[in-house]
Amino acid sequence: MILIGHKLVPYTPLYKVSTVKDIKATKPNSIVLFDFSDEELLHYCKDNELIFSLHVKNLTEACIANALGAKFILVDEKLAIQVQNVANEYLFDSKIILHIKDEFQIEKAIKDSIDGIIFTSAII
Q: What pLDDT is stored for residue 34 in this prediction?
A: 98
In tens, the pLDDT along 18-74 reads: 999 999 999 999 999 999 999 999 999 999 999 999 999 999 999 999 999 999 999
Q: How far apart are CA 117 and CA 50, in angstroms?
A: 22
Q: What pLDDT is stored for residue 74 in this prediction?
A: 98
Q: What pLDDT is stored for residue 22 in this prediction?
A: 97
Q: What pLDDT is stored for residue 39 in this prediction?
A: 94
Give 66's Cβ-side CA count (13 Å radius). Answer: 20
Q: What pLDDT is stored for residue 106 in this prediction?
A: 96
In tens, the pLDDT along 70-105 reads: 999 999 999 999 999 999 999 999 999 999 998 999
Q: What pLDDT is stored for residue 58 in this prediction?
A: 97
Q: Which domains does the chain have, with CATH numbers?
A: 2-122 (3.20.20.70)
Q: What pLDDT is stored for residue 64 in this prediction?
A: 97
DSSP 72-114: EEEE-HHHHHHHHHHHHHHT-SSEEEEEESSTTHHHHHHHTT-
